[in-house]
Every structure is written in structure tokens, then in C-alpha cells.
Amino acid sequence: MKIKNPKIAIVGCGWMGLPLAISFLNDSYSVTGTSTTVEKANRLNQLGIEGFCWKFSDGYSKSQLSFLNEVDLLILNIPPSKAGSELTYSKALLELSTFLPDRCKVIFISSTGVYPDSIADASEGYQWTDSDLLKETVQAEILLTEFLNERLTVLRLAGLIGPNRHPINSLASKTNIPNGNSPVNLIHLDDVIGLIKQIISFQFWGEVVNGCYPIEVTRQEYYQKSAAHFNLQQPEFLSSSQQTKRVSSKKSIDLLNYTYKHSIISYPIS
């Protein structure tokens, strides 16, 4: 059943989560968000978001997780590096999910990094191998799916770009960079927010979907032209380079009817 004005909680109101929360506020949703410090939680409150200070290492109890009370939709937006708990990342997410109301739907923000580089087409129907199962994010997807079933949708995002965040900043001036002939797999923050809203609007539950801007461009071309555009020192790629995975956006376009609106290209296209 579709809830007219769902209460939304976002666990992890950082670079991506905060603009998402503000966007929901602008659409007149009731929004709760977590941050890892009291100062950041207070900032959320100042913006009109019901802010809570919580992180995995704080533990799990009804009082500590009161921000989940009466929540209709939870967006789990914490990467493995932020787990900071005695539990593994996957079990920490599962523990948190046990406190959700039975009606609550969940969007888990995963990564296209779950796909191995050795496959040409990284699409949602890919079947895990034994080596894949060693990845923390894969383990989290599996445990959350087993527990939440049709209440969960997994959104696997390509590399994030947006305000004050562009991968050329970490690659400029570097040398001997591998895989220059590989495709670029990126998505702009605006399209992340758009995809999440489309999932909610379409009631697209019990699904796995990739988020990646659909364009064919090699890493070497993209990063060298981006460096020139931003007046940064050129990165240098190895002459011998194998091609690696291209993340498929087909499902998000065909089944979610999503149109990617914000190009990842900053430089003029000749």
C-alpha cells in the first residue's frame, strides 16, 4: 500500500545524504536524519531535519534508535568504512533493521564495486562467486535481502560526482595509472536523488538496480580532458591497459523509466 506522506529516515546525512534530506524537505516530507557528531545533528535540526547523533559503535537499543519510530521509509547510506562497530558491517546493518516497523520499506545504498572488474557487462542479474562473497557490501546485500525480502530495494551506485567532488582531483598529476581503456562509471548527485525518488514513486520494491550515467567514454579520455578543463596537471596512463567492466543502466532506464539528467562530462565535447 502506498503511503501518502511517508516519514523518511536517512541514516548517514553526509555529502550525499544531506542534499537528499533537503530535497525531501522541499517536497514536504517529514525527514529524520543521523550524523556522527552532536554538532552535525544540531545542524540538521537547524535545517528543519529531525537530527539525531548516532553511529554503529553507539550500540543498539530502543532509546538509541528512537529515530526509527514510526518510520515508513529508511534509506541506509553508510559505507563499510564508517561501520566502526564490534559487529561486521553486514551484521550491524541487519541489527539496525530489526528495530524497523513492520511496514517500513528500505533503500540500501550499495555500490557497483560489488561487481568484479573482470566482467564486461555489470548488470543486476550477475550471480555471486565465492570471491564476491568476501566483500562486505555483498554480505550486507545478502543479509538485508534475506531479512527484509520485498521491503528492500538495493541501489548500486557508480562513482559519485557533484559539488566539490570530482575524481580528477585525486588522479591529477599521477602516473602509471592502469586501465586507461576501461569505461568510466560515474553518476552525479542530482541523478542519485532522482533515482531514489523514482524508486519511491514507482513503488519499486524487492528489486536491485544500478545507478550509472549512460555514456561511453574511456578513463584516459575522461580524466585527461577533465584535467585540462579544470587546469590541473595531466594524469598519465599505462600504454598497456586492459578493458574492465561497464556498469549497465538499462534496468533503471527501462523498468524505472528514469531519464538521467545531469551529465558527468564537465569538459566541452568536440
Q: For residue 267, is pLDDT > 80?
A: no
pLDDT tens digits for range 115-149: 999 898 999 999 999 999 999 999 999 999 999 99
Decide if 206 is inside a domain. Answer: yes
pLDDT tens track for 15-35: 999 999 999 999 999 999 999
Q: Please give the pLDDT value at position 244.
A: 84
CATH of the domain at 17: 3.40.50.720
CA distances to 23, 39, 96, 98, 130 from 101, rounded to whole Å, are: 24, 28, 11, 8, 33
User: Amino acid letter at 189?
Assistant: L
> What pLDDT was estimated at residue 228?
92
Assigned domain for 263 exists = no
What was the pLDDT predicted at 2?
A: 55
Q: Is the pLDDT of residue 269 over 70?
A: no
Is the pLDDT score of 3 beyond 60? no
Is 239 among the domain residues? Answer: no
- The answer to the question of residue 180 being in a domain is no
What pLDDT, on the 0 to 100 scale, is given for residue 242? 74
Q: What is the pTM of this model?
A: 0.94
Q: What is the mean pLDDT of residues 93-104?
A: 95
Is residue 232 a part of any domain in this protein?
Answer: no
The verdict on residue 269 lying in a domain is no
User: What confidence score (pLDDT) does residue 1 get?
Assistant: 46
147 part of a folded domain: yes
Full domain range(s) for residue 33: 7-162+188-212+246-254
Q: Does residue 82 belong to any structural domain of this protein? A: yes
The reported pLDDT for the residue numbered 197 is: 97
| Average pLDDT score over the chain | 92
d(CA 91, CA 140): 7
Number of domains, the chain: 1
